Structure 1
Amino acid sequence: MDINQVEKSDHTLPNSLIKDKTPLFEVNHLSLTFRQYKKGLRESSTQVIRDFSLKIHQGEIVAVVGASGSGKSLLADAILGILPENADVKGDLKFAGEELTMEKQMLLRGKDISLIPQSTNALDPLMKAGKQVQSVIKRKNKKSIQERIFHKVGLSKKAGEMYPFELSGGMARRVLVSTAMVSEAKLVIADEPTPGLDEHARNETIHYIKQLADGGKSIMFITHDITAALEVADKVAVFYAGETVEIANIDDFTGKGENLRHPYTRALWNALPQNDFIPLKGSQPLPGETINGCAFESRCPIAVEYCAQKPPQNKSVSGGIVRCFHA
């Protein structure tokens, strides 16, 4: 069996999805709030995601970039339907053109929608690494396929006989990536798959994720590393204080960021060591903090009084999407 066949799904997308280029995955105006009780059993709520929108087409890699604590991993949990009971999710989610209901999330989770989790603790501590990957494979010759994938990601046959506690952090991440590679999922959510890896392993992981897309899978690449995002993605969705402030094409990240439409995105770009290395002062609003206007207003160099009074809406500008009055 050709190893490349391992990465391709036996399931085909609906003809209507291919003909009209309907996104494989789409989320519109997603908000996520957690209910909690304080002293005196008074109920309060904390909003961690507000008005998030995104589209991913078949074979496309869209990076979701944001600082730690911006709600990126909770976004993945909301899509998979694995949030706790006190979570309140609103908005429209669609998969292959159909509404992604809670029942459908349960049906597709681990099958058509797969997760490369942020924590290597997601591996079953009582199952050998090779068996964990084999459990996802639906074809015959499971062990042979698993060993080929391990070889492809730089893991030996011996690694397949090891338990998670015997693996290094980098090896454990490669096992998680291998699981996504052998699955028949159409959408793969990679939640911070590169932290803790040395440069070689990091570059290899990015390469494997590109291969998943080349095999027809759609990828949501969640990261705080904008450099990694630019190496792997077709588009970058910039996440700030629980909302998308811009969705930009990779080609927009050039020069001084003249083609970028949002001040926060330009600040991220110009803060990179290979650019001007200018740090962004201040910090993003805390989860649950009341925001009447633009979430970036307090740190924005071009903000005016109006920016603090009313939240800007998404608008299309020069082939991208931006949430800014000045764009």
Structure 2
Amino acid sequence: MGQRIPLLEVKDFTLQFKQYGRGLKQIETRVISGFTLDVHAGEIVAVVGASGSGKSLLAHAILGILPSNAATGGSLKFKGEELSQSLKERLRGKEISLIPQSVSYLDPLMTTGKQIESPLRKAANAVKSVMNRFQLGDDAKNKYPFQLSGGMARRVLIGTALTSGAELVIADEPTPGLHKSMVDETLGSLKELAALGRGVLMITHDIDLAFVVADRIAVFNKGLTVEVADAKAFEASPDNVKHPYSKALWHALPQNGFHSVRGKDYGEEIDAGCDAGEEDDA
């Protein structure tokens, strides 16, 4: 039997930005270097790294929504086909769906009900089912984004993406600001998608969430994939991962001592970027 073709294949991916420095001198800033991972149908792969490390830019590159001063290298493939900009635009919101980090992705001129209904193209009862699942009352259906709380707006984004029918769902920090019940519902929904044969790429700084939901964890540091490890093995012991940065992340977790490690073996201090971000979003 031949090897399965991944839904998403990222190989030696690089990303840099052209900017102007002093005196109109143009400089290039590289934020991702040699990033490699794959996501197969039926699995959840989590990309874990510090906040502000550039993880979200990978999602934007896959979807083709990078700013005009971005330059990329390496390879991005969907189901074995190179992702050109035109293909990204055709797949975006259909075969590849995004749960974005920012609620600003909601259309300010469209009501909640219409935003959920748009990718579904289904009857009103389907919209009602989604809204009930994510605890959005009947009155929220006719509200515009500016009328929603931050937590409600995030739930609309999650509900819309998870019911889009996409084969690949990219969840970019999907849970900050949500009540624990909604965090659990969101993670459960991601697991359901994988059980249905879809692929999920979850981008997060919260390694504890990755342990709960992911099959594999790609550890991201300074624009590089330093290691891809089995999530359950990684959770059990730092001895199950090879890279010093991965080991340091494990030791930085609260249940493992909440240690920040500095020294020649790690090269830098690793802080536990694993705050739950779970607060009441009523």
* TM-aligned CA deviation for residue 243 of structure 1: 0.8
Q: Which structure has the higher relative contact order (CA within 8 Å, separation 6+)? A: 2
Matched, 1:262 2:223: no
The residue that corresponds to 1:147 in the other structure is: 128
Q: Tell me which amino acid in the other structure corresponds to 1:79.
A: I
The residue that corresponds to 1:80 in the other structure is: 63
Identity %: 52
Unaligned runs of 5+ in 2: 271-282
CA separation of 1:27 and 1:197: change in aligned 2, threshold 3 A: same
Q: Give, in whole Å, the separation in 2 of the partners of 1:256 and 1:235.
A: 15
1:274 partner SS = helix
The residue that corresponds to 1:285 in the other structure is: none
Task: Return 159-168 or 73-82, whichever deviates more.
Answer: 159-168
The residue that corresponds to 1:11 in the other structure is: none
Within the candidate set 191, 197, 205, 2:178 is matched to 197
Within the candidate set 238, 246, 253, 2:219 is matched to 238
The residue that corresponds to 2:83 in the other structure is: 100
| Structure possessing the higher radius of gyration over alpha carbons | 1
Task: Tell me the alpha carbon deviations over residues 27-71 of structure 1, each in whole angstroms, 9 at most, x when there is no partner.
Answer: 100000101122222211000000000100001110000101111
The residue that corresponds to 1:214 in the other structure is: 195
Q: Give, in whole Å, the separation in 2 of the partners of 1:47 and 1:111.
A: 30
CA separation of 1:42 and 1:254: change in aligned 2, threshold 3 A: closer
Task: Tell me the alpha carbon deviations over residues 52-108 of structure 1, each in whole angstroms, 9 at most, x when there is no partner.
Answer: 001000011100001011110111111111111111100011111111111211111
Q: Give, in whole Å, the separation in 1 of the partners of 2:252 and 2:266.
A: 18
Task: Tell me the alpha carbon deviations over residues 277-326 of structure 1, each in whole angstroms, 9 at most, x when there is no partner.
Answer: 212349xxxxxxxxxxxxx963289xxxxxxxxxxxxxxxxxxxxxxxxx
CA separation of 1:245 and 1:155: change in aligned 2, threshold 3 A: same
- Segments of 4+ moved more than 3 angstroms: none
The residue that corresponds to 1:118 in the other structure is: 101
Task: Tell me the alpha carbon deviations over residues 148-188 of structure 1, each in whole angstroms, 9 at most, x when there is no partner.
Answer: 11112222222212221222222211111111122121111
1:258 partner SS = helix
CA contact (8 A) 2:261 2:269 kept: no
Q: Give, in whole Å, the separation in 1 of the partners of 2:51 and 2:204.
A: 9
* TM-aligned CA deviation for residue 255 of structure 1: 4.3
Aligned residue pairs: how many? 270
CA separation of 1:275 and 1:118: change in aligned 2, threshold 3 A: same
Task: Return 202-211 or 86-95, whichever deviates more.
Answer: 202-211
Q: Give, in whole Å, the separation in 1 of the partners of 2:165 and 2:188.
A: 19
CA separation of 1:151 and 1:31: change in aligned 2, threshold 3 A: same
Alignment of 1:41-56 (within 5 A): 41-56=24-39
CA separation of 1:34 and 1:255: change in aligned 2, threshold 3 A: same
Matched, 1:298 2:267: yes
Q: Give, in whole Å, the separation in 1 of the partners of 2:71 and 2:146.
A: 35
TM-score for both structures, normalised by structure 2:
0.90
Q: Give, in whole Å, the separation in 2 of the partners of 1:80 and 1:135.
A: 19
* TM-aligned CA deviation for residue 271 of structure 1: 1.1
2:65 partner SS = coil
The residue that corresponds to 2:277 in the other structure is: none
Q: Tell me which amino acid in the other structure corresponds to 2:12.
A: H
Unaligned runs of 5+ in 1: 1-17, 283-295, 302-327
Within the candidate set 141, 155, 158, 1:177 is matched to 158
